[in-house]
Structure 1
Amino acid sequence: MAFSKSQIPFTAQHYLVCGTEECENNCQFYCNDCHQPMCEQCRDVHKKSPDTKKHEVAPYQQRKRQLPEVKCHIHVNRYVDMLCEQCQVPVCSKCATKDHGGHTFIDLETVYAEKCAICLNEINKIEEYFLPTSQDLLKSTKTDSTEIKKIMESLRTSIRTAAESLKSMVDAVTSDNIKQVNEQEKSLLQLLNAQEKKYNDYISYINEHVKKFHGYLFSKNLQILMSEITKNLKIDPIPETTKPVPPLFTAGQYSKEDVTKLLGRVTVPDTKPENRKIKPMETFSTQLKSTESQRKQDREKSAMKQTLSLSSSVTKVREYRVPGVYSVYHILLGKSGRIWASDECGSLVQTDLLGNLLQKIQTSGGSEGYHTVTQDGDLIYTDRKNKVINRIKQDNTMTEFIKTGDWEPISIHSSHINGDILVGMIKDGKAKVTRYNKTGEEIQNIQRYNKGQELYSNPCYITENINGDVCTSDYDKRAVVVVNKSGQYRFSYTFFPPNGMCTDLLGHIIVCDGLSDTVNVLDQDGQFLSLLLTEQQGIMYPRSLCVDDGNNLHVGQFNTSTVKVYKYLQ
């Protein structure tokens, strides 16, 4: 299907067509010598022509940047187009003959292309190595901070435990000493009580003698007086007693150091801090190929990618019905070709390739991409009402996977690159995309760009491109918003209110246009490539998209449970 330039929607930002006169096929290649985009057929002609067969023709995305037209600041009517090797300054032809006699010159366009390539390479290094590595190290410091807090709290607990242990021992010794003092006191008091009784008895004995002697003084019987006095004149001696010796308390002799020995001390180990592990730059090429699982898949598809491109026409392959839903607002393929689809009423169903209903779940979701399938084949879906993300394993057991706090989760995507979970959320008029790892741990929040401007308003659908870009279909912003995997803003495409979206192995961003009810294709840098599907191909109200392993595009529609499948790559 080809469109003439007159058929391009006036709202489109760019329609990439062949630059050859009279040819309106999709552009796939670029002649670096002519600076002309061209389709595959025109490229073949270009390469066979005697005048241009030696020209350098590259895939469009690998094209050399054309030298911008910059006027010489001295000769204002001329453009700079050469670089003086001796002076290393860009000059025009008049400068070359007048001010740079005898110098050698290089084509500025070649130098410019080389510098652009260096810039792109450096940007790639920053985005793919330096930035994520720094973020990993930042995450490592935060993890270490949490660990240090745990260790310090453990030290405080150990110190308190040692102090409590010593205190218990002190209390025990104190109790023993006091018990000994009490026993000594009791023994001494018993001795003193006995002595007190002895003296009381002796005093009574003396008082009796006094009485008798007073009686003798007043007695008229001289015989008795003489005999009794002689007999009773002897008095028992005063009893002897000993003064008790009380015990002594000898206070313990100790210093702060002695107490420290008992309680222990906090020391800093004489260990050289270990440098944080940074992936060496020589492994950068390996890192650019990402994880083995991702790049193994890339290698398997690389041969196919070399030969595939957007077709000039699309072909309907088949269609099938999804039972149990009124419309198909979100569709995706699980393992073994199982299909998951949902409608605007919260019905989420799983079917097989023959259209047999396998299971149906009633959810709080609506016209958003609120479910996804993990690398392990598990279904995860958002529950806006309870602010959680549920997980259904392949044995049909369901668990609460992630709690999102005060934020309502409305859309979700499981990365096929690394298993991360991307969730679009809203709260109090604000919106964000949060990244979780495959275990449900929050690792990134994407919400603002530049000077605090909000990136999102209503992120209804999320997907991920082959380069790790996070692509979001934001209905309220009427835009496709794209950030790189580090969360840095890349571009927005704003000519339609978008609905469902997906990406393919060529990095195309394929989106349902909610205004004109068409399916549109952008490249991974935001360039509009084509209107892929319109009413002419039998499409009415497209709402959801996904690409299968055979590179066929599945299109779900509003007000029908029928899904149509198209071949769009050649």
Structure 2
Amino acid sequence: MDPQFSLQDVIRCDLCETPVPPKHCEICHIHLCEACVGKHLSDDTKDHYIVPFKLRGSIDSLQDVIRCGLCETPVPPKHCDICHIHLCEACVGKHLSDDTKDHYIVPFKLRGSIDSLQDVIRCGLCETPVPPKHCDICHIHLCEACVGKHLSYQSKDHYIVPFKLRGSIPKCSKHSTKICILLCEECNVSMCAACDSSSEHERHKKEDILKAMVKKEELIRKDLQELEMSIYPRYQEAATNIPVQRADVRKHSNKVKTTLDKQREALHTEIDTIIQGMKSEIDGMDAQHKAAIDQQEVAINNTIPEITQIILDLKRLLERLQDKLDTSDVCLVSEYTSRTKEFRSLPGQFQVTLPTFTPQEINREQILKQIGSLSKLSITYPVGTFLDEPRILTDIQTKYRGSLKSLRSVSCLSDSELWTCGGDNILRLYNLQGELLRSFRTKSWNAPRDIAVTRSGDLVYTDWHDSSIILVSGTQIQTLITLWGWRPLNLCSTASGDLLVTMTSDDRKQTKVVRYSGSKKKQSIQWDNQGKQLYSSGPYIKYLSENRNLDICVSDWDARAVVVVSAAGKLRFRYTGTPSTWESFRPRSITTDSQANILTSDYENHLIHIIDQDGLFLRFLHNCGIQGPYGLCVDSRDNLFVAECPTSKVKKLQYYK
């Protein structure tokens, strides 16, 4: 060999072949370049000791370079073969005091020689190997024979669990030193013995948490099976059938119209006006029918992703149940509540009796009778039953603060997400867990008067000061409508996709409701049959909502009334409260549900009024923790969201069974 060459001229990094590696692992006997040192050290299946290349082979003993994992004492004589950590004699006790996991201390030279955890774990009382039980309070392994003996020690509490569940029972959230041994079936929360003796759960039915887990696991399996095999396919089939229903509406309507046309041809021009009137009536019924189908589609499509997510969550949870559970898993299983019953019945279902036309022989003297009769469209929905007392399902604390910047309006983006606005200039999107998903400042930096979610999922809001209506689509914020001589108050989206907007004139002497299709004005509603204004004047609250029968419902705060007009703008009725609320009734927000019932918030009296589509009072929603209700909206399953002005909370209420 040429004497000018050295050994490092031909030796390379064993990982990347870089020549002249400057480092060497004295334990693995591998040469390393600087770039590969970190990669090599990341292999934590064995120990490593990196030295300069020129010092390779100079270490006499492995223990000369290995130190205690807690205090760095060299030449540690012990090793925990479960935690894979080297220990000096002084640190063994400290390491064993960590009772969040198991430990097994062996001499350093025997490290890594244990094949299985249960090969070395024994009963803490009699040394029987492979103990099947564990006391999760005393942290001691037990064979079957010693369980009774251990439980006889009455100086402290005990809770025996299968060995594989050791350490998985959650700590009590109220008593951190105790574990949960019971599940309160009424509250669906796990609790310790101290909670059991408290007055909070005194008369509630409880069950051992392990037994409850077995039942909940079985319930999860049954729910998953029913959701996958029965409920979800029915929803898919119903969603697929929506276009067919729409086509059938057109087909049937065209058939009826064709029959009418034949009669019109026979009666000539004398009956054209009458026939056209009937056509218009059919179109109106078509609109009502399609609106019902649209509402059904929204309800079904809003629910399908929720069912899909539940199926994924349940599958994921069941997969994790096959392994050793940790505390979070047991909490999820023990606190699991089935929602299958909620999904068994498809939302928005209805029965429909389609209109028909019955032709008659032509008789000029009795032309109206000869034309025939057109039956009315009849849509029958399942009748909902009110709960005796409404229940608060969710309580969301928003970021709105202060009397001038408190929460005012809420609008559902989906059954699990909702937009909010208040007295500040920020609009916020929350989920049911109270997490803020999105927020943005208004285009003009003015506070919005109201918000609404369109059928396409976009957000619209009114800007009083800027006399405009703003559309928020994705990340794009643009002016949809600019008003001249008028200022927008409140707004809502309709089943057909139109926008209804209440607005007042700049001189504050007139108020009207205007219907828009996109930015195009389609209809204006302002006067009754006597030429009087339907709504009070001034810039006061006038929330509005379209009912299932296409009525337009307005909560007129200054008039102390709910004003309801037909889709054509004809006054149907005014609701001015009940005898007990007449003096103080000033409605704030308003919404409608799938039963065509009208709900309006009564801020002063801390309650919600429910009236039917003809103005008949049905009941109050109160005595359930509502404080100063303001904004209202309902989801596809008729859960009511209430925006509380004093607390700036959104509360989700169930009021139907």
User: Structure 1 length as normaliser, TM-score?
Assistant: 0.47
User: Structure 2 length as normaliser, TM-score?
Assistant: 0.41
